[in-house]
Amino acid sequence: MERRSAHGLRLDFRRFIFGRAASSAGRSGRSSRRGRGRAVPAGCGPQDTDRLADAIAEKTQTELFNVDGSLFQFTEGRLIAINKDILRNVIARHIVSLRLVNRASTNDPHWEIENFSFEFPIVADTSDQPDQRVLLDLIEALVLRVAKEPSTPHQLTLQQLREVRDRIKIGEPKDAIARAYNVDVSVIRQLAS
Q: What pLDDT is stored for residue 25 in this prediction?
A: 37
The model carries a pTM of 0.55
From 123, 141, 127, 187, select the one nearest 161 (Cα to Cα).
187
Question: Reduced to 3 states, what is the DSSP secondary structure of residue 81?
Answer: strand
pLDDT over threshold 60, residue 51: yes
The sign one gets for the Cα dihedral 39, 45, 50, 52 is positive
pLDDT over threshold 50, residue 38: no
Domain range annotation of the chain = 2-150, 152-193
Banded model confidence at residue 116, pLDDT cuts 50, 70, 90: confident
Q: What pLDDT is stored for residue 57 in this prediction?
A: 92
Banded model confidence at residue 138, pLDDT cuts 50, 70, 90: very high
Q: What pLDDT is stored for residue 37 in this prediction?
A: 37
